[in-house]
Structure 1
Amino acid sequence: MRSRWSARAGVALVAIVALLAPPGVAQATDGVSAVVRAMLRHMTVREKVGQLFVVEVYGPDAESVTPAVAARNQALYGVDTPAQVVAKYQPGGVIYFDARRGPANVQNPRQIATLSNGLQRAALRRRVPIPLLISTDQEGGAVVYRLTAPATAMPGNMALGAARSTAAARKSARVIGAELASVGINQDYAPVADVNVNPANPVIGVRSAGADAGLVSSMVGAQVDGYHAGGVATVAKHFPGHGDTAVDSHFGLPEVTHTRAQLDAIDLPPFRTAIRRGVDTIMTAHVVLRSVDPSGAPATMSRPILTGLLREDLGYDGLIVTDALDMGGATADYPPAVAPVRAFQAGADQLVLAPQMDTAFGAVLNAVNSGEISRKRLDESVARILTLKLKRGLWRPFVDPARAERVVGSAGHKAAEQQITDQTITMVKKDGLPVADAGKVLVTGWGVTTTSTLGAAIGRRGSAVTVRETGATPTQASIDAAVAAAQNQDLIVVSTMNANAAQQSLVRALLATGRPVVVAAVRNPYDIALFPEVKAYLASYGYTAASLESLTRVLFGEVDPVGKLPVAIPSLYPYGYGLSYH
């Protein structure tokens, strides 16, 4: 009885000390504070293993569920509610998703804040109360995001790269960070530190600030500062660099063929900058890099890359988190009982979205109990996780849902969104621009929301607008309809999005009408290489409402375009190219 009471008292004391410890609590020479050491002493092996995992939970509420929510949680974890998932595994972190993955975690600011509070209460009900890292992917832009309106849609990374403003990048990240923090999300899986040197990259593209390592480094450094100022932990991704791949690692295993010299010149500088600026976490990439690891193991499973290159060569001692272990680049050769153990042995500290959680958890636990993973190695990773939580003040994890409603999408944030986005449009060709009096305008091309939003913005300038959306892969019938609608129009504005053969046919058919045509590339800027004969071409790097408003302002000469290409358009336009009206 006495020993049980002593253990309980010790746990309670540790929790109180952790609560009172200020952010950035002093650390010993080996980087581990007395508070963290005390917590480690009172944690069981199972509790420590739980800290290694970052799990998803289904549903918008911690405690109550619908049949659909219960079914998804049961399928993955054998329990009904998000709180029960936390209670079962005692994970170190939870990652939020929107409805594209299943019953959403994110609906509106009050709901998200309430969910976060509920999950944190479940975490603090543990024998050793340890709060959660609650994470999400909110990179900015229109590609990888989870919070939608009323959340502020700051421009994406390549748009920020076009603006060439570290002040804008810092402010953008601060706004995103402040909105996430207000709803209880304390870690953003951002910034993207990849240098997109491959125009055919199917997974990074506009998620990168550009093709120049110096530009990407400056944007990454500013964003790390901005996210921290906004109140969230940062995650630079995807190490050692995903910018020169032609395979999407969600579905396959890409190979980066860079030599070590190329790696030092292209891929590593943004990560070095992030480390110097105090980035909290670095995320791995499911990519093969034989110049560092000839075995062909993906970086996530590679000790030469994670421990040799990142820990030893770059001197990084912060948290390493895997990219999602349920992605094709991880699952192809590493089954559920193998992947988490291999990633941990390679040097990762946290394991994200391990498939078959019971199997994955048991595999790591068995590896520790058998000695395949040493207790010392386990403690090193758990110490990093606990240190980050102390540093970010997470033992005071609760947020005010009413305040969240005031912060998310505030008037000041929306004003910053538009002001920054106005700096991002690149004008590559400008014959006939700006438009003084557009008269009758046909808006056509990719995207139902994109064309309608762009049409509405043009209509607010007094033009008579006709909208004919043609889809991602226009049929001949839709092309013919757009051409018919173009007759007697004063101007045609056509949006392209990574233009495929059908979109190219649409553009050429519209050019053949003889009417003035403006092409607006609303994702990657490379589309003009496919129809270089166009006379007016704008790149917006995104299709948020603010991006389309900024594009319209440039179209009508209300804003002078200052964006410069953050990538080269092969054989046509160099890095840094961009026209203006003055």
Structure 2
Amino acid sequence: MKHRAYRLMSISAIIIFLATFLMASCSFGKKPSDPSHTPGTSTGATPTPTSKDPPEDNNGENPKEDPTIPSDQMIQNLMDSMTLEEKIGQMLFLAYRWNQDGESVLEMDNVLKDTLSIYAPGGFVLFSENIESIDQTVALINSLQAQSKIPLFISVDEEGGLVTRLNKAPELHSTNMPDAYTIGLTNKPEYAYLAARAVGAEISSLGFNMDFAPVADIFSNPENKVIGRRAYGTEPQLVSVMVSKAVAGFADQNIIPVLKHFPGHGDTAEDTHTGAAFVDNDLERLMSFELVPFKEGIEAGADAVMVAHIILPKLMDDPVPATLSKEVVTGILREKLMFDGVIITDAMEMSAVSTYYDDDEAAVMAVLAGIDMILMPRSVEEAFCAILSAVENGVITEQRIDESVYRILRLKEKYGILDGSIQGPDPELTLGCPEHKALVQEIKSAAKQD
């Protein structure tokens, strides 16, 4: 099938409107270099710090829960105290892998400090470049939280198998769990639970509170290279039960599991990291196949879902990535699957989006589609200013922003992030412990015997 041109050929009135007002809407202030996955700086106006008071080390003085106030009211009170800029900041999920000299970022620096002050993001994801040792990783995560007025989601991609950030730092002596496909080969769902619980314990011990896992994709296309063994299997029934058990395993260690890559990246031949990727399935096929593990994972208690940049022409009037599609994000995930948790984009720096859309355009389209958090925009400044401008000029309502911020804060409250009430286990005793090492061998043995 020949697909239409990927990028919308006629930019909507929304984007034209934004271009007119972008420079006027973000006031000038101290400008950090954009914290990005690659060295570099951004251009244009920079907003002034979002906090009403200059951010400072909170020394544990993060928003506390009053046990006499219902959680919904506590969240609403917090939102009432926030500026529009602070609310938009909560919708940003950032990364900072290398500094401008191309060196790995292992500790707080001025760029990172300024970014947290100016944009007040809601989440931060660490990569192997940010992780070297136990003391260093704990210190970095603690400093990120200390510099944040509202505590952050601190996430990592720790799936097991090839997708691991911890195992690339030998000093951590962490456990590298088998990939999902190996776990699926055991045909024993309890191993999905035990593996997720072990991974959850290890990352929790370092201060993480979220994992971009489990993978809920079904490896249904033999030509698929981006998912492959990251999936639990090739059939929805097996993948569903494994995903559900993994959700429980992460949650038992107070780690927020994030189902990915909605609505299913397992039937693509292309890789969204490098370009556009298409899925030609219709809604009936999706509901009976690709979406089954997501539905089961949500019913098992998953509170967050990551949306892929795949294009589904049979579901869309315009061939846009799912992350920018209201038909997919709101129409399917929110309305058909009845999901009321936090929806996160896949990394916006990936070529499936960044090749075809400017950062400001993509950010606004994502919010209009129903996305709650924008992961790793190439330019934090452009994404932030575009959303702010869109709200100030009526393209996005503040009510729409409030809906996302409420979901974000509600999830942080549920997992004890807002008040810092949950402490992870001792990393020295948890990372690479004999119990976890034995589990790895047990899973591998069971996979061979099945």
TM-score, structure 1 as length reference: 0.63
Runs of 4+ displaced beyond 6 Å: 70-74, 398-402
Query: SS at the partner of 2:412?
Result: helix
Q: What residue is the counterpart of 1:50 in the other structure?
A: 89
Kindly provide the CA deviation profile for residues 123-142 of structure 1, in whole angstroms up to 9, marking residues without a partner as x.
1xxxxx31000011001112
Q: What is the aligned partner in structure 1 of residue 133 from structure 2?
A: 108
User: How big is the shift at 1:334?
Assistant: 1.2
Instruction: Name the counterpart of 1:223.
Output: 246
The answer to whether 1:214 aligns with 2:233 is no
Partner AA of 1:82 in structure 2 = L
Question: Residue 391 of structure 2 aligns to a residue in which SS?
Answer: helix
How many residues end up aligned between the 2 structures? 388
Cα displacement (A) at 1:85: 2.4
Residue type of the partner of 1:185? F
Q: Aligned-pair distance for 1:277?
A: 0.9
User: Could you tell me how far 1:84 is from its partner in structure 2?
Assistant: 3.1
Q: Is 1:147 the counterpart of 2:166 in the alignment? A: yes
Q: Which residue in the other structure is 2:150 paired with? A: 130
- 1:159 matched residue in structure 2: 182
Q: Counterparts of 1:399 and 1:301 in 2: how far apart (Å)?
A: 35
1:167-201 deviation digits (Å, cap 9, x = unpaired)? 11100000000111110110000000001110110
**Aligned: 1:92 with 2:115:** no
User: Residue 385 of structure 2 aligns with which residue?
Assistant: 362
Q: How far off is 1:332 after superposition?
A: 2.3
How far apart, in 2, do the equivalents of 1:67 and 1:348 lie? 33
Quick one: distance in 1 between partners of 2:134 and 2:189? 28
Supply the distance in 1 between the matched residues of 2:196 and 2:376 (Cα, whole angstroms): 25
What are the Cα deviations for residues 524-551 of structure 1, in whole angstroms up to 9, with x where unaligned? xxxxxxxxxxxxxxxxxxxxxxxxxxxx
Contact 2:278–2:312 at 8 Å: present in 1 too? yes
- For the residue of structure 2 that corresponds to 1:256, the secondary structure is coil
Residue equivalent to 1:342: 365
CA distance in 2, matches of 1:376, 1:153: 43
Cα pair distance change 1:21/1:160, threshold 3 Å: farther
Q: Is the 8 A contact 2:96 2:105 kept in 1?
A: no
In 2, are the aligned partners of 1:117 and 1:397 still within 8 Å (CA)? no
Q: What SS does structure 1 have at the residue aligned with 2:248?
A: helix
SS for the counterpart of 1:20 is coil
Q: Percent identity?
A: 36
- Which structure is higher in RCO with an 8 Å CA cutoff and minimum separation 6? 2
Give the deviation of 1:400 after TM superposition.
7.6
Determine if contact 1:154/1:421 at 8 Å carries over to the other structure. no
Write out aligned runs for 1:404-553 (5 A).
404-425=427-448
Determine if contact 2:106/2:136 at 8 Å carries over to the other structure: no
Rounded Cα–Cα distance in structure 2 between residues aligned with 1:120 and 1:320 = 22
C-alpha offsets along residues 451-481 of structure 1, whole Å, 9 cap, x if unaligned? Answer: xxxxxxxxxxxxxxxxxxxxxxxxxxxxxxx
SS at match of 2:166: coil
**CA 17–146 in structure 1, closer or farther in 2 if over 3 Å, else same:** closer
CA displacement, residues 303-322 of structure 1 (integer Å, 9 cap, x when unaligned): 01100111011111100000
Q: State the Cα distance separating 1:380 from its structure 2 match.
A: 0.3
Closer, same or farther: CA 292–183 of 1 in aligned 2, 3 Å: same
Give secondary structure in 1 for the equivalent of 2:140: helix
Inter-partner Cα distance in structure 1 for 2:184 and 2:222: 15
Given that residues 324 and 369 in structure 2 are in contact (C-alpha distance below 8 angstroms), is that contact kept between their aligned partners in structure 1?
yes
* Larger displacement relative to structure 2 (411-420 or 189-198): 411-420
Which position in structure 2 is the counterpart of 1:522?
none
TM-score, length of structure 2 as denominator length = 0.81
Contact 2:201 2:425 in 1 (8 A): no
Q: Is the 8 A contact 1:221 1:277 kept in 2?
A: yes
Structure 1 alignment gaps of length 5 or more: 1-6, 9-14, 28-32, 60-64, 99-103, 124-128, 426-560, 563-582
**1:259 alignment counterpart:** 282
Q: Which amino acid aligns with 2:156?
A: T
Distance across 2 between alignment mates of 1:331 and 1:272: 29
Counterpart pick for 1:168 among 172, 191, 204:
191
C-alpha change, 1:373 and 1:286, in structure 2 (3 Å) is same
CA root-mean-square deviation = 2.5
CA distance in 1, matches of 2:204, 2:355: 36
What is the rounded CA distance, in whole Å, between the counterparts of 1:329 and 1:307 in structure 2?
20
| Paired position in structure 2 for 1:333 | 356
Q: CA deviation at 1:419?
A: 1.6
CA contact (8 A) 1:113 1:184 kept: yes
CA distance in 2, matches of 1:161, 1:418: 15
Structure showing greater radius of gyration is 1
Aligned amino acid, residue 240 of structure 1? P
Closer, same or farther: CA 72–131 of 1 in aligned 2, 3 Å: closer
What amino acid does structure 1 have at the position aligned with 2:113?
A
| Equivalent pair of 2:62/2:419 in contact (CA under 8 Å) | no
